[in-house]
Amino acid sequence: LQLINELKSAIQHGELVLFYQPKLDLTLNKVTHVEALVRWLHPDRGMIPPDEFIPIAEQMGQMNALTRWVMNEAIDQYLSWKDQGIDLGIAINISAENLKDTNFCQYVLDVISDRSVPIEALTLEITEDAVVSDPENAIKQLRVLKQYGLKLSIDDYGTGYSSLAQLKQLPVDELKIDKSFVQNLMVNLDDQIIVNSTLQLAHSLGLRVVAEGIEDEGALKWLAERGCEMGQGYYLSKPADADTLVAWLVNSG
């Protein structure tokens, strides 16, 4: 309950921090993107994971403020890396509340143009459920963003309730297979069948596939052999602060 009252000021007073998790291009064997994942560095309680405060932010109508903070912070980081000669595309997570805000898409376009960020440097990750709650408005806004060249990704694919008919209408570039199908890939034949058919479906729709939840070398190889374009998971790197991420990048060549 206390957290509810504190969240709004936490956003305003700089208690949020972004961690970054690499997205590896499996063809190039190179990290080309990172996903920004927010944490709350609470002065008394230490680090609070997003699972504990994002639902609160949604209930409190703070999700637009939070996402705007995340977007600006991620762009700061993008530009700072760029100055250091590090070129990493950045993915940020968008929630249902954001897509319900009819000004969302204009806000994104304004921030990108104000800050001179190449539009293709930004990927928005959207869960299926965020689209399902108000498909017409969501699809309308996503189409505009896509038209301007923003990269769009369907997150946690396979766990939501979107129909193939809706999926077909979504102007996305990327499908992220949910980690629940990937974590046990090497020992679960059902998961192998699901991932295989998802790769085929996505590729025939012209979408690139990201597998999240890669926890071992076997899964990484299995996915690369089957043409999965990108991978993400603890086997490569856990989400880490920006400095740790760059140190890891330099070390892993």
Q: Which residues make up the interface to Mn ion (CB under 5 A)? A: 155-156
Q: How far is the CB of 165 from ligand G (least distance, A)?
A: 24
Which residue in the shown chain puts its C-beta closest to ligand G? 233
Q: Which of residues 86-145 bind Na ion (CB under 5 A)?
A: 93, 125
- Count of residues near ligand G by CB under 6 A: 23
CA dist 232 and 238 (Å) reads 9
Q: How far is the CB of 66 from ligand G (least distance, A)?
A: 7
Q: How far is the CB of 253 from Mn ion (least distance, A)?
A: 27
Does 49 contact ligand G by CB under 6 A?
Answer: yes
> Judged by CB, which is closer to Mn ion: 62, or 153?
153
With 0-12 / 13-18 / 19 or more C-beta atoms within 10 angstroms meaning exposed / middle / buried, residue 123 is buried
- Which runs of consecutive H residues, i.e. helices, occur in the chain? 2-12, 50-59, 63-83, 96-100, 104-114, 128-132, 135-147, 164-169, 189-204, 217-225, 242-251
> Judged by CB, which is closer to ligand G: 84, or 112?
112
Q: How far is the CB of 124 from Mn ion (least distance, A)?
A: 13
Q: Which of residues 181-200 bind ligand G (CB under 6 A)?
A: 183
Contact status, residue 7 vs residue 34, Cβ threshold 8 Å: no
If you count them, how many residues does the chain have?
253
> Judged by CB, which is closer to Mn ion: 60, or 240?
240
Which residue in the shown chain puts its C-beta closest to Na ion? 125
CA dist 14 and 169 (Å) reads 38
Q: Which two structure tokens, joined as six digits, stand for 182?
A: 């990937």
- Partner whose footprint covers residue 239, from Mn ion, Na ion, ligand G, none (CB < 5 to 8 Å by kind): ligand G
> Judged by CB, which is closer to Na ion: 239, or 242?
239
Contact status, residue 205 vs residue 168, Cβ threshold 8 Å: yes
Contact status, residue 38 vs residue 16, Cβ threshold 8 Å: yes
Piece of the chain touching ligand G by CB under 6 A; list 137-145, 207-215, 217-225, 244-252: 207-215
Does 229 contact Na ion by CB under 5 A?
Answer: no
Does 234 contact ligand G by CB under 6 A?
Answer: yes
Tokens 């969302």, residue located: 104
Tokens 């990484």, residue located: 220
Does 155 contact ligand G by CB under 6 A?
Answer: yes
Contact status, residue 19 vs residue 239, Cβ threshold 8 Å: yes
With 0-12 / 13-18 / 19 or more C-beta atoms within 10 angstroms meaning exposed / middle / buried, residue 206 is exposed
Q: Which residues sit at the interface with ligand G, rule CB under 6 A?
A: 21, 37-38, 49-51, 54, 70, 93, 95, 125, 155-156, 179, 183, 212-215, 232-234, 239
Q: Which residues sit at the interface with Na ion, rule CB under 5 A?
A: 93, 125, 155
